[in-house]
Amino acid sequence: MSTLVVQVIAAVASLALYFLPSIIADRRKRYDLLTIALFNAVVGWTVFGWLLALYWAVQPNPPRNVASEIAQSRKLGSMRTFSVMLAERVRFRSSRNNTSERASK
């Protein structure tokens, strides 16, 4: 009887260790939990697959809408570039105006 209890405990511990990446993904509220769990179940028997699933599970959640996030970052980048170029133009014109005023005096 005691060997059966030990075997059941060992089986539960082995399953918990095998599905550790899925458990971590669930605890971290990953959006792609099902994908990680399926990947872990199918490829987790290889050491590389298990490590890859574990790495994937500890990564931060991906953005929900990647396309709009990329568009927003491009828009911010172009606005930043425009601001820098505008500031340079204002500095150039003000220095040019100061030089022409000094020359006319």
pLDDT in tens, the chain (105 residues): 889 999 999 999 999 999 999 999 999 999 889 999 999 999 999 999 999 999 999 999 877 777 788 888 888 888 888 888 889 998 988 887 777 666 665
Do 15 and 1 share a domain, yes or no? yes
Q: What is the number of domains present in the chain? A: 2
Domain containing 102 equals: 65-105
Do 55 and 74 share a domain, yes or no? no
pLDDT at residue number 68 = 81
Among the listed residues 64, 77, 2, the one whose alpha carbon sits nearest the alpha carbon of residue 29: 64
User: Which DSSP state fits 94?
Assistant: H
Which pTM was predicted? Answer: 0.58
pLDDT at residue number 75 = 87
Asked if 55 contacts 48 with a C-beta cutoff of 8 angstroms, the reply is: no
Do 79 and 56 share a domain, yes or no? no
Do 3 and 49 share a domain, yes or no? yes
pLDDT at residue number 46 = 93
Do 56 and 69 share a domain, yes or no? no
Rg (CA), the chain: 30
Among the listed residues 23, 21, 17, 18, the one whose alpha carbon sits nearest the alpha carbon of residue 56: 21
Do 58 and 90 share a domain, yes or no? no
